[in-house]
Amino acid sequence: MGRVRVQRQSRSRSPRRTGAIAVVSALGLTAALGGCGLTGESDGVTLKLVAADYGDSEANSSQKYWDKLVKAYEAEHPGVRIDVTVYSWSDVDAKVKEMVDAGKAPDMAQIGAYADYAAEGLLYEADQLLSIPVQADFVAQFADAGQVKSVQYGIPFASSTRLLFYNKTLFDKAGITPPTTWKELAADAEALKAEGVKYPYALPLGPEEAQAETMQWLLSGGGGYTDTTVGSYSIDSAENVATFNWLKNDLVGKGLTGPVAPGELNRADAFSAFAAGDVGMLNGHPSLMQMAAKKGVKFGMVPMPGVEGPSKVSMGVADWMMAFKKNGHADQVGEFLDFVYDKQNVLDFSRRYDLLPVTNSASTVMTAAKQDADLKPFLEQLPLSELYPVGQTSWAAVSADIKKRIGGTVAAGGSPSAVLGRLQTAATRAESAE
């Protein structure tokens, strides 16, 4: 990946904000920031940012987004270089971990989880970096999810919810309507299979993003990864076991999920198959709209079906920005991140990749703008959504274990209760080590 040079001037950061100030700020107070941060000349500082790629081709790689953003920053801020490296989602988390383990942590990382690094004392707190107006602008749901023991380390970067996508052409040919219950989903899948559809329902439980497909199904079955009362893992709950028994027996076992075993089907491949017209139904996030439209696929979107009706809870996902303390430069990092979270920059990123904004100011604009009308169904799901338990420092390890094992629940000869039980045992052990 190329290096992007950005020049800027240093300025004093505000001191660490207290919870009381943040509350007042959220109610609309704006104030001048005190100069208790780093001061002095910032020439010669290089900030390294490692980021994930949200594009589906070189033409719309996230590298192009960052190149444009830092070029605009450079025009007004001489003095600092920003070295941006973009990796695919399949690699970026592991790349950052390798850098950290080698004692070469980047200044900033935009990846999928933050809490394990926070637990090791490696990250700056958000209020050591960001100005008060920027902090106050985050959607509360995401700001809360960025906390470990009531301190925010994870800075939300992008978000999405999930809806059930269906191919209108294939549905019309089969004479069926979008499902609202699991029973209807299975019946629709049977009708699609009878019409020769390659993937009646695409079930990506492969290692790329199996934790997402899993969570959406768990929520629709009345369960989830954690007990909402006490917050502990409940992966092998009766509701979750029942959900995967249904998937194994009523969907996978009846040949309704296509020629690739769910445990070997990755999300990206499932999306590509949908865009190619080979999938009848699958869970998708907003970026799938752009992929499908480019290929001329006529699609519709409905809430995820549940046992007796549409699921009352949707899955929400937030990706995270974080800043490592190893190299210092809190002042320079904070000023750059203030720019990253400027309303227009958040809008530009969200619109470029059909993702939901993490700030209130950008959300307000997108909710009202005609050009963003296609995202409204996803925005409407956001208040009803549940996020991964990202505030638990064990989540990164638990998520990795789910990606590796969950496909076995629906494999021939597999046992949902046994696989979920092993996942629960490992999760409990990881949780107790927090």
424 within domain boundaries: yes
Q: Is 221 exposed, middle or buried (0-12, 13-18, 19+ CB in 10 A)?
A: buried
Q: Residue 266: in which H helix or E strand, if any?
A: none
pLDDT of residue 32: 28
| Residue 93 Cα distances to 5, 258, 264, 423, angstroms | 24, 30, 20, 21
The domain in which residue 274 lies consists of 162-316+390-432
Let me know if residue 5 belongs to a domain: no
For residues 296 and 407, membership in a common domain is answered with yes
Lowest mean pLDDT among 15-29, 168-182, 273-287, 386-400: 15-29
Q: Is residue 39 part of a domain?
A: yes
Q: What is the pLDDT of residue 114?
A: 93
**Same structural domain, 254 and 140:** no
Both 231 and 298 in one domain: the answer is: yes
Q: Do both 243 and 332 map to the same domain?
A: no
**pLDDT value at position 165?**
98
Integer Cα distance of 387 and 402 in angstroms: 16
* Same-domain status, 132 and 236: no
**pLDDT the model gives residue 43:** 54
Average pLDDT over residues 300-309: 96
- Which of the pair, 273 or 433, is modelled with greater confidence? 273
Question: CATH code at 26?
Answer: 3.40.190.10
Task: Give the pLDDT of residue 6.
Answer: 35
Least confident of 3-7, 19-23, 240-244, 295-299: 19-23
Q: Measured between alpha carbons, how far is residue 251 from residues 99, 167, 185, 257, 416 in Å?
A: 42, 18, 9, 7, 14
pTM for this model (two decimals): 0.77
Nearest residue to 223 via CA among 207, 246, 206: 246
The mean predicted confidence, pLDDT, of the chain is 88
The predicted-structure confidence for 102-141, as pLDDT tens digits, reads as follows 999 999 999 988 998 999 999 999 999 999 999 999 998 8
pLDDT in tens, 61-111: 999 999 999 988 877 888 888 899 999 988 999 999 999 999 999 999 999
The DSSP result for 31-100, as a single string, is -PPP--S--S--TTEEEEEEEE---SSGGG-HHHHHHHHHHHHHTT-TTEEEEEEEE-TTTHHHHHHHHH
What integer is the mean pLDDT of 316-327? 95
Residue 121 lies in a domain: yes
Do 45 and 126 belong to one domain?
A: yes
Beta strand residue intervals within 190-312, DSSP E: 199-201, 279-284, 299-302
Q: Which residue would you say has higher pLDDT here, 238 or 31? A: 238
Residues belonging to the chain: 434
The answer as to whether 8 is a domain residue is no
Residue 238: half-sphere exposure toward Cβ, Cα within 13 Å: 0
In this structure, what token pair is assigned to residue 299?
A: 């699609």
What pLDDT is recorded for position 280? 98
Q: Which helix (H) or strand (E) holds 235?
A: none
For residue 42, pLDDT over 50 is answered with no
Do residues 404 and 208 lie in contact, with contact meaning Cβ atoms separated by under 8 Å? Answer: no
Please check whether residues 334 and 416 belong to one and the same domain: no
Residues 147 and 167 in one domain: no
- Residue 2's region, left for phi above 0, alpha for psi from -120 to 50, else beta, is beta
| One domain for residues 246 and 118 | no
What does the pLDDT read at residue 174?
Answer: 98
In the predicted model, is pLDDT for residue 30 greater than 50? Answer: no
Q: Is residue 59 part of a domain?
A: yes
pLDDT band, residue 345 (cuts 50/70/90): very high
Residue 11 in 3-state DSSP? coil
Say whether both 325 and 311 belong to one domain.
Answer: no
Query: What's the DSSP call for residue 309?
Result: S
Per the structure, how many domains does the chain have?
Answer: 2
Examine the domain organization and report whether 273 and 413 are in the same domain: yes
Same domain, 203 and 324: no
- Phi first, then psi, for residue 348 (nearest 5°) are -60, -45
- Flag whether 414 is in a domain: yes
Q: Is 86 inside a domain boundary?
A: yes
> In 3D, which of 283, 313, 150, 343 has the Cα closest to residue 221?
313
Of 120, 145, 77, 78, whose CA–CA distance to 342 is shortest? 77
